[in-house]
């Protein structure tokens, strides 16, 4: 199912309103396009014709695939178990709280009933070169690698492409996001629009935000061609631009109290995103002027700074959440860190060694460095930082009301790594966390062993959970043709 390369960014920009606005209303029509059509509105029970979900009764399902770097600290040689729950079986809030101080997954205790933690999943094709590249490219494709080392690519499409081809409007690609440094050796290798054709991922949340609200798209007829730039430089919030229309909408008698709360949360979230991105831009500016701040954001310097990786990941999660709540795409990916992630995390006030070196437990990208005495403890701390970011997603999605419950009820998020264990680069027993019920398709509240299956079975399950069907039934044959077909049945409700 090949797709021709898009001529636009992977973060699909909303289409401008068709027709020619009158000269008197050109600017107003443009501003309203930004605020209503360009951004979309949450699901409004009282005004379904205005809702972003109006075309998707009883309600669409959304999927976010997150892949991080360098594995987790799980039982390996003389290293202790610091990731998996102590026992297979049901997950409960109290049960997970009991191991929250010892195992990273315990930090997600508040959302126990919405989780499936899955051990016993592996990549299908062996590590015969650079494990970081070969694992990353198999993560969402379950495809045989083409080539070796850091130049290898996937011989098939990724799960997000399969979902977007089936469920998104024609021409709307998956939202492809990135957080962290891109140092050139292994950059993005997660999303493939066609065999051997990686999809570029946007690492600057400000660019994603502009496209979602229409600021980076072409101006409709009658609008000043530099209006979008002027608005950005003046830090005009979409909320401000559509204040009149929003006030009118809030006064509609058909709106329920819940609808009013959804609108308030929706526009408050937009304001929070703008303020956070502006603050990060100022950190890169020489004198803190707004123009320089936004220039820093637009060029990506602020978001590529070493140490900002988790803050940027949270912004990207916010933007994926916004895209889902507006039903602008059904699927997104987030790659956190390049193949050999050299992020220097701050732990207990200390900026520690490069994460890739920590994962090797020595000062080297290969195997010839000096031992790092605190490497194990630092890796344990980094795993907990990353779980904190994933918990941020769970908190956000569980608080966002949509048509049939919360976003977490109507979506799923996969959290995993491109290798299972840092020192060995193993592809076995990958860390897999699936959160969300996907509209009731997925079974949650459990820690299961999938039985050493290849990850095509996991991808089949999640593609089907997202709403894709193959001949009326579940998708069972995604990935390389040599792999055993089927789902992970224990994940299906």
- pLDDT at residue 36, as a whole number: 41
For residue 46, being part of any structural domain is answered with yes
451 pLDDT more than 50: yes
> Where among 267, 299, 331 does a domain terminate?
299
Mean pLDDT of 232-255: 74
Do residues 134 and 93 both lie within one domain?
A: yes
Closest listed residue to residue 106, CA positions, set 116, 93, 119: 93
Do residues 174 and 292 both lie within one domain?
A: no
CATH of the domain at 444: 3.40.720
For residue 68, being part of any structural domain is answered with yes
Burial of 377 (0-12, 13-18, 19+ CB in 10 A): middle
Both tokens assigned to 474: 């579940």
Q: What is the tens place of the pLDDT at every residue in 316-350?
A: 999 999 889 888 899 999 999 999 999 999 999 99
123 pLDDT more than 70: yes
Do residues 375 and 471 both lie within one domain?
A: yes
Do residues 66 and 109 both lie within one domain?
A: yes
Mean pLDDT of 398-411: 89
Mean pLDDT of 28-52: 57
List the domain range (segments joined by +) for residue 221. 27-57+209-299
- pLDDT at residue 259, as a whole number: 85
pTM above 0.95, yes or no: no
415 pLDDT more than 80: yes
Q: How many C-beta atoms surround the C-beta of residue 149 within 10 A?
A: 14
> Where among 259, 276, 299 does a domain terminate?
299
Do residues 133 and 254 both lie within one domain?
A: no
Do residues 48 and 84 both lie within one domain?
A: no
Q: What is the tens place of the pLDDT at every residue in 191-204?
A: 999 999 999 999 98
For residue 237, being part of any structural domain is answered with yes
Per the structure, the count of domains in the chain is: 2
3 pLDDT more than 50: no
20 pLDDT more than 70: no
Do residues 31 and 88 both lie within one domain?
A: no
Q: What is the tens place of the pLDDT at every residue in 171-192?
A: 999 999 999 989 989 999 999 9
- pLDDT at residue 30, as a whole number: 38
Do residues 73 and 168 both lie within one domain?
A: yes
Do residues 359 and 293 both lie within one domain?
A: no
For residue 9, being part of any structural domain is answered with no
For residue 5, being part of any structural domain is answered with no
Mean pLDDT of 446-463: 98
384 pLDDT more than 90: yes
491 pLDDT more than 80: yes
Mean pLDDT of 94-103: 98
Q: How many C-beta atoms surround the C-beta of residue 371 within 10 A?
A: 9
- pLDDT at residue 248, as a whole number: 81
For residue 191, being part of any structural domain is answered with yes
- pLDDT at residue 236, as a whole number: 64
For residue 19, being part of any structural domain is answered with no
Mean pLDDT of the chain: 84
Do residues 174 and 290 both lie within one domain?
A: no
Do residues 181 and 45 both lie within one domain?
A: no
For residue 428, being part of any structural domain is answered with yes
Do residues 371 and 467 both lie within one domain?
A: yes
> Where among 238, 268, 299 does a domain terminate?
299
């Amino acid at each position: 199912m090949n797709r021709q390369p898009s001529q636009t960014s992977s973060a699909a920009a909303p289409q401008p309103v068709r027709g020619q606005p009158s000269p008197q209303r050109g600017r107003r029509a443009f501003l309203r396009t930004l605020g209503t059509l360009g951004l979309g509105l949450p699901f409004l029970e009282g005004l379904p014709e205005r809702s972003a979900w109006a075309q998707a009764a009883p309600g669409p399902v959304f999927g976010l695939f997150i892949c991080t770097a360098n594995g987790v600290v799980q039982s390996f040689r003389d290293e202790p178990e610091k990731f998996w729950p102590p026992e297979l079986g049901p997950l409960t809030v109290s049960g997970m709280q009991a191991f929250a101080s010892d195992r990273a997954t315990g930090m997600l205790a508040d959302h126990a009933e919405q989780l499936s933690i899955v051990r016993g999943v592996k990549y299908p094709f062996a590590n015969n070169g650079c494990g970081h590249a070969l694992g990353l490219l198999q993560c969402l494709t379950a495809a045989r690698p083409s080539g070796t080392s850091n130049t290898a690519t996937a011989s098939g499409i990724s799960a997000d492409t399969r979902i977007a081809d089936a469920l998104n409007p024609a021409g709307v690609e998956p939202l492809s996001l990135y957080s962290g440094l891109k140092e050139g050796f292994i950059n993005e290798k997660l999303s493939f629009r066609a065999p051997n054709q990686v999809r570029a991922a946007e690492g600057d949340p400000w660019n994603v935000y502009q496209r979602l609200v229409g600021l980076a798209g072409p101006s409709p007829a009658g609008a000043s061609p530099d209006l979008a730039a002027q608005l950005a430089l003046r830090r005009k919030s979409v909320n401000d631009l559509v204040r009149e229309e929003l006030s009118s909408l809030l006064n509609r008698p058909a709106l329920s109290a819940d609808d009013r709360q959804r609108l308030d949360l929706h526009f408050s979230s937009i304001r929070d995103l703008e303020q956070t991105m502006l603050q990060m831009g100022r950190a890169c500016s020489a004198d803190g002027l707004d123009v320089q701040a936004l220039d820093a954001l637009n060029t990506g310097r602020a978001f590529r700074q070493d140490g900002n990786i988790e803050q940027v990941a949270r912004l990207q999660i916010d933007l994926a959440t916004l895209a889902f709540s507006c039903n602008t795409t059904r699927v997104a990916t987030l790659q956190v860190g390049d193949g050999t992630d050299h992020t220097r995390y701050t732990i207990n006030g200390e900026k520690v060694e490069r994460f890739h070196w920590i994962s090797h437990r020595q000062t080297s990208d290969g195997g010839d460095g000096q031992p790092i005495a605190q490497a194990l403890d630092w890796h344990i701390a980094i795993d907990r930082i990353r779980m904190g970011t994933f918990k941020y997603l769970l908190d956000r999605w569980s608080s966002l009301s949509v048509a049939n419950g919360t976003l977490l009820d109507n979506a799923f998020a996969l959290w995993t790594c491109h290798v299972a264990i840092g020192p060995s680069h193993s592809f076995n027993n990958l860390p897999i966390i699936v959160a969300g019920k996907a509209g009731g398709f997925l079974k949650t509240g459990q820690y299961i062993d999938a039985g050493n299956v290849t990850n095509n079975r996991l991808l089949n399950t999640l593609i089907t959970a997202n709403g894709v069907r193959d001949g009326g039934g579940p998708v069972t044959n995604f990935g390389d043709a040599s792999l055993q077909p089927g789902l992970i049945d224990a994940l299906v409700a």
